[in-house]
Structure 1
Amino acid sequence: MKLRRVYSGDRLELQSLQSDGSWASGADAGVFGGAVFDPAWELERARGHHDAAGHVLPFQPTSFRDFMLYEQHAVDAARGLVRRFHPGQSRAAEGIERLTGKPFPLFKPKALFYRQPIYYMSNHLSFVPSGTTVAVPSYSTALDYELELGFVLRAPLFNAAPAEALDAIGAFVVVNDFSARDVQRAEMATGLGPQKAKHFASSMSVQAVTADEILPRIDDLTGFVAINGDAVSAVSSRGMRWSLGELLAHASRDEHLYAGELFATGTLPGGSGMETGHWLRPGDQLTLAIDQIGEISHPISSR
């Protein structure tokens, strides 16, 4: 079932898509974890989003954990980062890759990636809906996007087994993790993870799709990235290092997870400009889509 919220000025209404293409009110918010935030605060938050974009988020996440599940993305992104910021080293690495027929060793993820799911926590309050104009941060000259699969808990978890964890997923959305790559390089070198490189904005599709429709085909989702109407890459959900159940089981290990928390898979291979060389510039129109769920679109502006 596809779901969306509509802002009417004095209330938020959750609607579901009917078989005839119309939207009907009265959908159950339980797939998003139910009511969490103060209603007056959430209504004011939605008003700001509606004024800026003409849309609102399908739900307001209570936290955001962003994983990295795709080895291919990690390798291609590292290769693209070196190509952009260290062209001399990039040429040397490319030569070694041609000789060996394998990825340059330093482009592969760290060893922990192969032992457990890895993630960072970002700013869940900086999410904006599709349609919002996003400005290049004043401190960055390397704005990037990341097309990801997001999912929200409908029920709490604690020391969950993978099957139990999978059953707690309520709905899926398209997630975009904006990234200031030049700033990210310096921040990651501190060992504390990204900060200003990520926290200024993330975005979400206006529509969500219930888990019963997506989980049976979780490895067969497809999508694309387009800039100014031109497709620059195609993506697929195939090839996760860890299953979503394993991901949530790991996150819930001796830690309480709550309904309404948002998780993301990390970038689908080919879903970032750092991989493909298509970086964002003021005046661009960015579109990110997962065909079976929905899309995100943003005009990019200067400040």
Structure 2
Amino acid sequence: MRWASHISGKDGQEHAALVEADNLLSVEETLLELLQSDGTLGAHAARARSNPWDVVPLGGASLVAPVPRPPSVRDFMAFEQHLVNCSAAMGTSVPPVWYDQPVFYFTNPAAITGPYDDVPMAPGTAQYDYELEVAAVIGRPGSDLAPADAEAYIAGYVLFCDWSARDLQSKEMTIGLGPAKGKDTATSLGPFLVTPDELEARRSGKGYDVAMTASVNGTTYSQGNWRDLFWSFEQMLAYASRGTELQAGDVIGSGTVGTGCILELSQVHGGDRFPWLQPGDRVELDGGPLGRISAQVSPSAADRLALS
């Protein structure tokens, strides 16, 4: 199944919708409400097919992020090539702990943007970057999960873009905290939540054989594959749930696929072939069955940080 969220023309409110061919079969609830309910997405899909609240052509729908306000957003760093390239770009080496356990940071649930929304520059940055990722959305609460059991807690997967102010990030992390303001401005999700059964035929390595690409102003920048995960989503969920409870609707990012950001590309290729993002740039991310994100970078609402 594929699910989406859209703003309905009937009442101007957010609604979940099952994607069937070229149509959205809407229900009255939001996708987060469906995930938090007692029913399964399969049961809600049957209801959407038999008695849709509305039917909207997909091409004309006003899509928003599948879960516009998740309870929490954790972003891991689960692709080894990304970590190796970024460490080299910053003049460091890969910390040994990364090979012992998955690692993540919390980011801002209020900064979620839709798949086609403009994305503002972070205030004060001159080194704005995208990150090409996939994320799991939690379908039911769970604590202290074992990796062998964790997949059953995944409602589906979404394309995920973690917009990053590299200069702010590198400065603030010298103190041993963060990233914070370097990742605080926007995170794009969508357009679809794709259930695991839809991807089963692609299962490969520790993920799925899904080619993922990114382009800027029509020029291909990044090319990676979901199957290259070092840490599986099952391992990530097990670690994230240790000593706490994952909630329905929580978003768990994979971290960036290999070569999936400008910071990496600058290290791998050198020179000025891949400049930092500027207002007016169009960034398009392609996640195959997960759909596409297409975002134009807009000027920051504040040209610089003003601290008093």
TM-score by length of 2: 0.79
- The residue correspondences of 1:51-70 to structure 2 (distance < 5 A) are 54-59=62-67, 60-70=69-79
| Number of equivalences | 262
What amino acid is the match of 2:278? R
Q: Is residue 294 from structure 1 mapped to residue 291 from structure 2 by the alignment?
A: yes
What amino acid is the match of 1:11? Q
Per-residue CA deviations over 1:12-54 (Å, capped at 9, x if unaligned) read: 2221122x4322224984796236xxxxxxxxxxxxxxxxx95
Match of 1:14 in 2: 16
In 1: Cα distance, 2:245 partner to 2:126 partner = 38
Alignment counterpart, residue 232 of structure 1, candidates 221, 224, 228: 221
Alignment counterpart, residue 111 of structure 2, candidates 107, 126, 149: 126
Match of 1:25 in 2: 26
Per-residue CA deviations over 1:211-240 (Å, capped at 9, x if unaligned) read: 222355233111111111121221111222
Per-residue CA deviations over 1:100-136 (Å, capped at 9, x if unaligned) read: xxxxxx33x2111011110000101110002222222
Alignment counterpart, residue 165 of structure 1, candidates 139, 150, 157: 150
Alignment counterpart, residue 208 of structure 2, candidates 206, 219, 224: 219
Match of 2:263 in 1: 274
Question: Which stretch has the larger CA shift, 73-82 or 263-272?
Answer: 73-82
Question: Which stretch has the larger CA shift, 147-156 or 250-259?
Answer: 250-259
Match of 2:190 in 1: 205
Give the CA deviation at 1:177: 0.4
In 2: Cα distance, 1:148 partner to 1:130 partner = 13
SS at match of 2:188: strand
What is the RMSD of the two structures over their aligned residues, measured on CA atoms?
Answer: 2.2
SS at match of 1:268: coil
In 2: Cα distance, 1:3 partner to 1:27 partner = 14
In 2: Cα distance, 1:120 partner to 1:282 partner = 27
Q: Contact 1:32 / 1:170 at 8 angstroms: preserved in 2?
A: no
In 1: Cα distance, 2:6 partner to 2:181 partner = 31
Give the CA deviation at 1:301: 2.2
- The residue correspondences of 1:80-95 to structure 2 (distance < 5 A) are 80-81=89-90
In 2: Cα distance, 1:148 partner to 1:75 partner = 16
Question: Which stretch has the larger CA shift, 2-11 or 253-262?
Answer: 2-11
Question: Which stretch has the larger CA shift, 5-14 or 219-228?
Answer: 5-14
In 2: Cα distance, 1:233 partner to 1:160 partner = 33
What amino acid is the match of 2:288? D
In 2: Cα distance, 1:169 partner to 1:215 partner = 13
Alignment counterpart, residue 100 of structure 2, candidates 115, 119, 144: 115
Identical aligned pairs, as a percentage?
33
Give the CA deviation at 1:283: 1.6
In 2: Cα distance, 1:263 partner to 1:55 partner = 21
Give the CA deviation at 1:150: 0.7
Q: Contact 1:287 / 1:296 at 8 angstroms: preserved in 2?
A: yes
In 1: Cα distance, 2:197 partner to 2:71 partner = 22
Q: Contact 2:32 / 2:70 at 8 angstroms: preserved in 1?
A: no
What amino acid is the match of 1:253? R
Gapped runs of 5+ residues in structure 2?
38-60, 267-273, 301-308
In 2: Cα distance, 1:126 partner to 1:248 partner = 22
In 1: Cα distance, 2:34 partner to 2:132 partner = 21
Alignment counterpart, residue 79 of structure 1, candidates 79, 88, 92: 88
Gapped runs of 5+ residues in structure 1?
36-52, 83-105
TM-score by length of 1: 0.80
Per-residue CA deviations over 1:233-267 (Å, capped at 9, x if unaligned) read: 21111222222111111111121111111101000
In 2: Cα distance, 1:239 partner to 1:21 partner = 31
SS at match of 1:15: strand
